[in-house]
Amino acid sequence: MQNFSILPLPFGVSSSYFSYLPEDPTVAKELLGYLLWNLPQGEERRKRIMVERIGMVALALLAVALLSRGALAETREFLLITGEPAWEAKPGEAPAMDRDRGPVKKIERYVFHPGFLVVNRGDRVVLKIHALKGDKHIVQIPAFKTGETQILRGEEKTISFVANKAGVFEIQCTNHLDSHKEGPMVGYIYVFDKK
């Protein structure tokens, strides 16, 4: 059992009430009935204890509801940078093969680093994207309808969303979608379904 005594306690509820929180809703209902009908004597004391016990029961029921849903969603924050790795053939080496242009002496590609992120379904995801290479990037995550965010070289912009479905989804730079613009510039988010 978790002890919730570190929480700010409303209605004058004392922290000693939180040494036991029922996980079973049936037990919580029985506890509610006991607390509300077995009150000590004296009108003022009775009112104070009634408010105290109602607050404790409300918090206990909230805890039961949250615990029954499984692990709570978290905020996952990532720093991504835009990079442009390049390779150039040295004298005597074979040229690189570009899939659209054929053999070339130099090949470059825009990338997100890291290019693969893992989160849980239900997590709030915060991507802080810093543009180190390229004049302009237009970033979107179509699966989560983030819209397009323009990031100029040297800027850092934030994209946030709730990962509300499981699967593997693309982070795209729509400015660098094909090899004519040193693309495709794509990263991936794996949303793990924690069922």
pLDDT tens, per residue, the chain with 195 residues: 444 334 444 444 444 444 444 455 555 556 555 555 555 556 666 666 666 777 666 766 666 555 555 456 789 999 998 888 887 888 888 777 777 777 877 777 888 888 899 999 999 999 999 988 888 899 999 999 999 999 999 999 999 999 999 999 999 998 877 656 665 788 999 998 876
CA 119 centroid distance within chain: 7
**């995801």: which residue's tokens?**
125
Structure tokens at 63: 């805890």
Which of 39, 98, 25 lies closest to 68, judged by CA?
25
Residue 61, classed as helix, strand or coil, is helix
The phi-psi region of residue 136 (left if phi > 0; otherwise alpha if psi is between -120 and 50; otherwise beta) is beta
Which of 88, 183, 90 lies closest to 133, judged by CA?
183
Are 192 and 121 in contact by the 8 Å Cβ rule? The answer is yes
Residue 156 CB partners (closer than 8 Å, separation 6+): 128, 129, 130, 131
Question: What pTM does this model have?
Answer: 0.57
Helix (H) and strand (E) counts in the chain = 2, 13
CATH classification (class only), 75-192: mainly beta
Domain boundaries, the chain: 10-68, 75-192
Containing H/E element for 54? helix 43-68
CB atoms within 10 A of CB 100: 8
Determine the length of the chain.
Answer: 195
